[in-house]
Amino acid sequence: MFVAILIFIVILGLLVFVHELGHFVVARRNGVKAPEFGFGFPPRIVGFQFLREVPVPGKKKKLFSKWRIIWGGKDGDDENEVSDLTEAHEKKLQGGTIYSLNWFPLGGFVRIKGEDGGNAGDEDSFASKSAWKRVKILAAGVTMNFVFAWLLLSIVFMFGAPRDIAQLVDKSIPIKISEVSLGSPAEQIGIKIGDEIIKKQKTGVEFSGVNDFIAYVNANKGKIINLEIKRDKTILSLSVTPRVEVPAGQGSLGIGFASDEAIDYPWYEAIWYGLVTTCIIAYQIFASLGILIGALFTGDKAIMADVSGPVGIVAMAKQALDVGFTYVALLTALISINLGIINILPIPALDGGRILFVLIEKIKGSPVSQKVEQTFHTIFFALLMLLMLAVTYKDIAKLF
């Protein structure tokens, strides 16, 4: 379990770092100063800063003229730094972003000038930029979460995606039977290992993959269903009744599928399938989110029971770790997409909430009061923390 907790911390830290990196890169590309970009959370262990020449009109500026190391929280108060800063002043150098390594390795952070509405008169302030540029900077973290998930899924498809994942996007993968339980309905009608379920049945029913077929069977428990099975080059038409009472470890028909078989693709197909799978998962999460919001209003405890917090994710990380790297990468991609979707929701305290205030400003023609906006962010942040505590409590209760 300790290793699973460590893996969870690494995954969460990596995803937060990637998210903040998106904000940082887009802020800098749009002329907004970022005083510090850090890996982990303060206090600072060490920082690294480039010193550049103050821009002079008509003169080509150097990439950087000098660099300095900042130990701990110091910023110009030790002997080496005083020397560095004195030289910088004499040579008319100005400090760029401090790239820092911090003591708590749970992701990262970026400090953006004017993010709190201050320095609105400065050209390099976030507050001075157009609404469109501010929206780009705010949305960049979410975008990076989706791009990172796409990258991970592309790697999975390149080195071997589990069959049930590959079937989401590759419709050419057959639904092959790898197991038939003794005494099951499948054995009684003569289904054998190696048989293949025809995806487009004569009855008009069509299966996109294993999960689709299982859902169809479960929806028809106790009813007679007609199935077309391919055995070698022969097509067999069989009728079977899925069991209502299912023995432990078996399905309604008593068959298993080769879902653990890994399927790899050329890099160009892997990149495409990674993108499509990212979109499919994002759509499914959005749909589930709608169902969850409905459950909050109706009080549907069955749906609420499926919600997991940090403790539940640690359990999933342990399961993924037991299976192998591919499943750890899949879990990381799934969490990354979840973080992206949650962060883009128009809720104060989240990126989507901040974008909402920018849009309100655009519509009304003047900025929302910083005091009002900050109050909303604070209240909703507290509510989100309470929700997280409630979900964590539920996860811990499940363990006992």
CATH architecture group of domain 173-263: Roll (2.30)
Band of pLDDT at residue 325, cut at 50, 70 and 90: confident
pTM assigned to the model: 0.78
Helix (H), strand (E), coil (C) string for 21-72: HHHHHHHHHCCCCCCEEEEEEEEEEEEEEEEEECCCCCCCCCCCCEEEEEEC
d(CA 222, CA 226): 13
Neighbouring CB atoms inside 10 A of 296's CB total: 11
Which SS3 state, helix, strand or coil, does residue 316 take? helix
Instruction: Give pLDDT tens digits for 121-172.
Output: 788 899 899 999 999 999 999 999 999 999 999 999 999 888 878 888 887 7
On the question of pLDDT at 63 being above 80, the answer is no
Band of pLDDT at residue 108, cut at 50, 70 and 90: confident
Band of pLDDT at residue 2, cut at 50, 70 and 90: confident
pLDDT recorded at residue 77: 46
Average pLDDT over residues 255-264: 78
**Percent with pLDDT over 90 in the chain:** 26
Please list, in sequence order, all residues whose beta carbon lies within 8 angstroms of the beta carbon of residue 143, skipping any fewer than 6 positions away.
22, 340
Tell me where in the chain the CATH 2.30.42.10 domain(s) lie. Answer: 173-263
pLDDT recorded at residue 141: 95
**How would you label 35-71 residue by residue, b for 16+ Cβ within 10 Å and e otherwise?**
ebbbbbbeebeebebbbbbeeeeeeeeeeebbebebe
On the question of pLDDT at 324 being above 80, the answer is no
On the question of pLDDT at 212 being above 90, the answer is no
Band of pLDDT at residue 263, cut at 50, 70 and 90: confident
The mean pLDDT value of the chain amounts to: 82
Band of pLDDT at residue 365, cut at 50, 70 and 90: confident
Instruction: Give pLDDT tens digits for 314-323.
Output: 677 777 766 7
Tokens for 73? 């929280």
Angle at 242 between CA 241 and CA 243, to 5 degrees: 110
Average pLDDT over residues 211-238: 89
Instruction: Give pLDDT tens digits for 213-226.
Output: 888 998 899 899 99
On the question of pLDDT at 211 being above 60, the answer is yes
Please list, in sequence order, all residues whose beta carbon lies within 8 angstroms of the beta carbon of residue 264, skipping any fewer than 6 positions away.
157, 158, 159, 160, 161, 270
On the question of pLDDT at 354 being above 80, the answer is yes
Q: Which of 76, 19, 22, 20 is nearest to 47 (CA)?
A: 76
